[in-house]
């Protein structure tokens, strides 16, 4: 989206919440851990990100199975929840982090809709068991905050971190 050439790689990071860890601290810790875990040349910039959904002080990560996804979707149905995405940029200057927080309001979701959505396969690896950029977008009544943060990589925060690390996305020639 920013026109920067990149390669993607997974990072083997335990995404479990630590005892008494606040959700904001959790996503920032995990984003930093993911950026730090990537194998790369020390001069390369590495981006790590982590997204969670919170409602009633409960953290929803990726659903473990169908029942877990249906439980999450039922809890989000007809309510407003927060989507928190931590992003980290590792550079020769160290690791810098930023947080994106977005409020998302869902319409009521019928149980048959939640089941059909699960069976589509889309929510299997998505925080809160939905993808706003996919079929799950039909549940979204309103958002206040960063759409790209809900998708999983907040553009504004990422661009600011890249600029702080010496790479200004606006001044870069577009990659082809």
Residue with tokens 């309001």: 105
Phi, psi angle pair for 27, to nearest 5°: -65, -35
CB 49 within 8 A of CB 82: no
CA 171 to chain centre: 26
Distance of CA 158 to CAs 56, 62, 91, 118, 163, Å? 28, 22, 13, 30, 9
Let me know if 50 is a catalytic residue.
Answer: yes
CB 100 within 8 A of CB 151: no
Question: Of 41, 50, 57, 112, which is the active-site residue?
Answer: 50
State the catalytic residues.
Answer: 50
């Amino acid at each position: 989206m920013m026109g920067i050439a990149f390669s993607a790689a997974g990072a083997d990071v335990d995404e479990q919440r630590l005892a008494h860890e606040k959700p904001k601290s959790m996503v920032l810790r995990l984003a930093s851990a993911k950026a730090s875990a990537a194998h790369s040349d020390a001069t390369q910039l590495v981006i790590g990100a982590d997204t969670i959904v919170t409602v009633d002080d409960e953290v929803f990560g990726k659903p473990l199975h169908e029942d877990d996804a249906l439980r999450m979707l039922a809890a989000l149905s007809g309510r407003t929840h927060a989507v928190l995405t931590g992003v980290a940029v590792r550079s020769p200057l160290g690791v810098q982090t930023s947080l994106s927080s977005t409020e998302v309001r869902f319409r009521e979701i019928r149980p048959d809709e939640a089941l059909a959505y699960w069976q589509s396969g889309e929510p299997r690896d998505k925080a809160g068991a939905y993808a706003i950029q996919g079929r799950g977008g039909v549940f979204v009544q309103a958002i206040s905050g960063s759409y790209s943060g809900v998708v999983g990589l907040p553009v504004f925060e990422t661009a600011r971190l890249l600029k702080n690390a010496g790479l200004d996305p606006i001044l870069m020639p577009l990659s082809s």
